[in-house]
Amino acid sequence: MSGSSSSANDPVRPVLKRFLDAVKACDAEAVASVFTEDAVLMTPNEPTLYGVQEIKEWWQEYFEYFKVSDFTETERDVTFFDDAAVERWAYVVTIASIKSRETMRDEGRWLGVWKRGPDGAWQIEQAMFNSILPIGSGTSRFLTRVMERNKGL
């Protein structure tokens, strides 16, 4: 068993930065480029996404409605083994609704499995995220209100 979380030898860090920059720039193509062809992404309260095409479509739709205006990392650790890595990181995010201009704040966590390809490039193979904030706050509060409005409540 081999494992380390040395930041000095952290080849996924620059790719993570590219991913976050792409999210902030609402660039679905660049976001998708960080994932393997057969990647699996499990976003909370939504069906599992299989493959980079579905992931790209998800982000395209997301960017039609939301703009991530701020993203701050609060915690991160990475464990490397062979040609893979497990990354866990936590964040505070500020998201603006494009249509209503409402702003929401959330605190979440990401658990990702990275894979190094034959060309040495690191990409995300599986990932899941969820919120730390209680139900009824953060993003879930916003979405609940949207759903209530849609129902005419």
Partner 1 sequence: MSAPIPSDTDVLLANHERLIAASRGSDVEGFASLFSEDAVFMAPNEPTLYGKAEVREWIEEYVQHFKIIALNDTERDVGIRNGWAIERWAYTVAIAPVKGGETDRIRDDGRWLIIWKRETGNTWKIYRVMFNSIRPVGSGTSRFFSRLTQRREE
Contact pick of 61, 64, 84, 121 for partner 1 (by CB under 8 A): 84
Per rule CB under 8 A, is residue 117 in the interface with partner 1? no
Query: Longest C-alpha distance within the chain, in Å?
Result: 56
Is residue 121 involved in binding partner 1 (CB under 8 A)?
A: no
Rule CB under 8 A: say whether 135 interacts with partner 1: yes
From the list 33, 7, 8, the residue with the least C-alpha distance to 19 is 33
Based on CB atoms, which residue is closest to partner 1, 20 or 113?
A: 113
Q: Which residues pair with 3 in a beta bridge?
A: none
72 binds partner 1 (CB under 8 A): no
Q: Does 90 bind partner 1 (CB under 8 A)?
A: yes
**Least distance in angstroms from the C-beta of 149 to partner 1:** 12
Residue 129 in contact with partner 1, rule: CB under 8 A: yes
Q: Is the C-alpha dihedral spanning 124, 126, 131, 132 positive or negative?
A: negative
The C-alpha atoms of residue 32 and residue 15 are separated, in whole angstroms, by 12
Q: Which of 5, 60, 94, 131 binds partner 1 (CB under 8 A)?
A: 131
109 lies in the site for partner 1, by CB under 8 A: yes
The per-residue b/e assignment along 99-137, b for 16 or more CB within 10 angstroms, e otherwise, is: eeeeebebbbebebbbbbeeeeebbbbbbebebeeeeeb
Binding site for partner 1 (CB under 8 A): 1-3, 36, 38-40, 42-48, 75, 79, 81-82, 84, 86, 88, 90, 109, 111, 113, 125-136, 140, 143-144, 147
